[in-house]
Amino acid sequence: MIRDAVPAADAARIAEIYGHYVTHDTATFETEPVSADDIWARIAGVQDRGLPWIVAETDGRVVGYAYAAPFRDRAAYRHTLETTVYLDADARRAGTGSALYAALLDRLRTLEGSAHAPVHSVMAVIALPHPGSVALHERLGFQHVGTVADAGFKLDRWIDVGYWQLML
């Protein structure tokens, strides 16, 4: 089941999912765990802008989440959003990421009542290498539009960042 995130109900579980990537992976460049209160504020901040933050549940347990946020805060960028998806480590390769992303993109295509409507394009920023993430985005129609070499340093190594774009 895919539904809108509820900050008070979902923040702790989302922080748990995200925490795995913060401490064990380069998918995010954050290096310190993020509290449930901080996640609550992030969800509310996205939703207050009229943008979607959604979760996937299996057997009543949140197993992943996806959201869209401004790509950049300058006014001319307002119709381009950055998309994000994270899954519980045990939920990968089960179709959950594809289902979450498809639902997110559907919501963005019909977005109304937000300063970002209509959404013209979405950007995915992927730390490389992450072949599963690249495959997911390309399956959904995203195209690679550039790479920044050695953009971040985490887990004792330099990490490239790739940009994938989908025109809506």
pLDDT tens-place string over residues 38-72: 999 999 999 999 999 999 999 999 999 999 999 99
Position 12 pLDDT exceeds 90: yes
Q: Quote the domain boundaries for residue 18.
A: 2-167
Token readout for 31 is 């290096």
Q: What are phi and psi of 109, to 5 degrees?
A: -65, -25
pTM score, whole prediction: 0.94
| Cα–Cα distance for residue pair 117/105, rounded to 1 Å | 13
Task: Please state the domain count of the chain.
Answer: 1
CATH of the domain at 32: 3.40.630.30
